[in-house]
Structure 1
Amino acid sequence: MERVTEKPNWEGDVFKDAVVAQWYADALLASKEYDQLRPDDFSGMDVDMDLVTQRTWDWCTEELRDKAKTFKPIVSFWASMPIPRFQVRCVDSYVCTK
């Protein structure tokens, strides 16, 4: 679920069944590729997708959809803040004033 919430615009995309299906396919593929490269090393793998059934994935998707309904990105707060602008004059190469 953390991997999904790190994706840009996840809070809207999680309601698109085609996007969620692609996320699931990508997760399965990444898990299989990791298994082939390092069959005995589990240290770098977040989740073994062999253990995640379709029912489990559907449950996680519903949790993410509930979370998305109340999700407010922190970025929107900062984006609404005015950017201070200063004019800088350099008196000489070592001293500058606002």
Structure 2
Amino acid sequence: MSSPGAAGSIRLDKLLWYLRFARSRAIAQAMVAAGHIRLDGRRVTRASAAVHAGATLVLPIGERIEVIRLLTLPLRRGPAPEAQACYTRLDPVAPAAS
């Protein structure tokens, strides 16, 4: 079996688990199935969707929306600093101050 980086892509549910956006792979699959995740602007409902380095993801995390750009594919579910090194957060448009 080859590593995710060797193939050039990784399953979306596995990516969410590796990057620590989900506590388990089953939770990651449920997040995707709910239809609230966007991959490069497209709504994704298949946990098996392939994700490549350079992709932009929009994720609902609690009460906020996270927009991230994937810099590199993670090779494993490691510690949080290792996971955070694989992506960069993109700032969504800030709401106007009242």
One fold, TM greater than 0.5?
Answer: no
TM-score scaled by structure 1?
Answer: 0.25
TM-score scaled by structure 2?
Answer: 0.25
More strand by share: 2
More helix by share: 1
